[in-house]
Structure 1
Amino acid sequence: MNVAATAKGLLELTRPANTVAAGVLTFIGAFVAGGAFDQQAATAAAVGATWFATAAGMAINDYFDREVDRINNPERAIPRGAVSPRGALAFSVVLFLGAVVLAALLPPLALGIAAVNLVGLVTYTQYFKGLPGAGNALVAYLGGSTFLFGAAAVGDPLAGGVLAALAALSTLTREIVKDVEDIEGDREEGLNTLPIAIGERRALLLGAAMLVVAVAASPVPYLLGTFGVWYLVAVAPADAVMLAAAYRSFDDPSAGQRLLKLGMFAAAFAFVVGRVAAA
């Protein structure tokens, strides 16, 4: 395997789209808290730490998931031989160190969130992924915490609280749908994910229920007076997309989770609109 192929494989391990998206969500958390531009150094450190931590988590997840991926995702870097398992593990350690260095520059609460998240990323596949619902809940927390982390980095964690909670509920739904999508490989590997434990339809119904709660709670920032009517105008289409995604997941989990991801980003954008309009 040549150097170019290995470099490409290492880049793939980081899931560039996901890591950049995580950094953007952290920035949105700082922006909603009103400190993204007033505290540029802290915001940049938080975004960078999120990128490194997310990339590290993706890489180590692929390391632990290498046998499952031979069935579910044989095109990934480790199963196809672009990166060795040992190389992926070493790469993840370097990325984790980068996250630690940047997180150390942030306020104590943000540093604490980063520490908890790093532990969660390291332990997810090995200890939580195979536990029905537990792995989903951990990933949901990690997804929602990006907003909380960004807000905490600029000194106002409460400003990101509602967004973090809504994002966590939406992420929980998406993770359940993804488990339904991956059920064949997970069963082959002996994992006891939620769809395996309670059945695909029940798992999807539970995920849909969580999403309905998130959508029902989405007007809270308006009701609390945090944002004005423009937030409602922006969040309504996002809610519609996410509900459509939940419905689609029963027939096509792959399409449903992609649509749900789009709806989640639209909802995050609604918070940006709300913040700009309230300025």
Structure 2
Amino acid sequence: MNSEKLSAAIELLRPLNVLIIMLVIAASVLLAGGIEGNILKAIIAAVAGGLIGGAANAINDYFDVDIDRVNKPNRPLPRKSLTPRAAFLLWFSCSVVGISLNLFLHSPALEISVSAVAGLFVYSAVLKRTMLLGNVLVAVMTALAFIYGASVAGSPERAFFPALFAFLLNLGREVLKDIEDMRGDRLGNAGTLPIRHGVSTALTVATVSFVLLLGATLVPFTSGMSGMSYLVMIGIVDVILCYVIISMWMDAGSENLARLNTALKADMVLGLVALYIGL
């Protein structure tokens, strides 16, 4: 593989997203089980999760190559830096290695990783083009990263609030991505929520998810589980979330929604830091 194809393969995996997944999983392991005796587990779990996450991105682009010629023409497959066959082989290789690494980890890590690979494949192949089911599945898979990390440390219950936070934020974010991608999705005969029921309905669903998230972020403080340091930090998260809600209703154009989706990624990281500091 020459340097150009190697660069395209790395790009296909979406390295920034992979890095976020790895950090989330490593943090979940260490915070659920403590640092002592868990550093190697955290590294193995993070690498395994990163490979599975990267594989999911590769298979997503494999199935979306026609749609991406319209929505994202600069991705490796539409611009022909990689072939679809290469993308499929990359998915298969990363998935096999990612699953295999879980043989060294605490149960049920292996079961979770197999479920994640299967679920994300079904999402890319079928559910992504269906109304809301694909959005829910991606949100569940994102939440599962936290449960997976905590399970490796033997304390999955420690991941409840981070998983809930990730689920609600990513459910709303996925709906916004469907609005952003409407032009190409129509050409691909997708039946996503904004195509089937309009942009206003999709914005309403995203708003409900974000408002539920706003309420959920207050529970650790109001229940006495966390203190003022958590409240201050989660307050910043909630301000950004309120801005996203207002902005998406004012401008539901693709350019603004792409910007808001980036803001939501950053907001998720801030929110998780707040949760881990406070809980």
**Alignment CA distance shift 1:221-1:22 (3 Å):** same
Matched, 1:57 2:61: no
Matched, 1:228 2:227: yes
Rounded to whole Å, the distance in 2 between the matches of 1:59 and 1:36 is 33
Task: Return the letter of the residue paired with 2:104.
Answer: L
Report SS of the residue matched to 2:123: helix
Matched, 1:132 2:131: yes
Stretches of structure 1 lacking an aligned partner (at least 5 in a row): none
Cα deviations by residue, 1:221-274 (Å, 9 ceiling, x for unpaired)? 234443333211211101111221122223121222122222111101102322
**Contact in 2 for aligned 1:242/1:264 (Cα 8 Å):** no
Rounded to whole Å, the distance in 2 between the matches of 1:207 and 1:91 is 33
Give the equivalent residue in structure 1 for 2:143.
144
Q: Which moved more, 1:220-229 or 1:159-168?
A: 220-229
Match of 1:261 among 239, 260, 265: 265
Q: Which moved more, 1:253-262 or 1:75-84?
A: 253-262
Give the equivalent residue in structure 2 for 1:91.
90
Task: Return the letter of the residue paired with 2:52.
Answer: A
Residue 36 (structure 1) shift: 4.4
Task: Return the letter of the residue paired with 2:57.
Answer: M
Report SS of the residue matched to 1:104: helix
* C-alpha RMSD over aligned residues: 1.5
**Alignment CA distance shift 1:240-1:32 (3 Å):** farther
**Contact in 1 for aligned 2:65/2:77 (Cα 8 Å):** yes
Q: Which moved more, 1:114-123 or 1:186-195?
A: 114-123
Q: Which moved more, 1:176-185 or 1:116-125?
A: 116-125
Count of aligned pairs between the two proteins:
274
Q: Which moved more, 1:4-13 or 1:113-122?
A: 113-122
Identity of aligned residues (%): 30
TM normalised by structure 1 equals: 0.94
Rounded to whole Å, the distance in 2 between the matches of 1:257 and 1:238 is 14
Residue 111 (structure 1) shift: 2.2
Stretches of structure 2 lacking an aligned partner (at least 5 in a row): none
Rounded to whole Å, the distance in 2 between the matches of 1:103 and 1:123 is 21
**Alignment CA distance shift 1:36-1:205 (3 Å):** farther
Rounded to whole Å, the distance in 2 between the matches of 1:108 and 1:34 is 14
TM normalised by structure 2 equals: 0.94
**Contact in 2 for aligned 1:32/1:271 (Cα 8 Å):** no
**Alignment CA distance shift 1:229-1:32 (3 Å):** farther
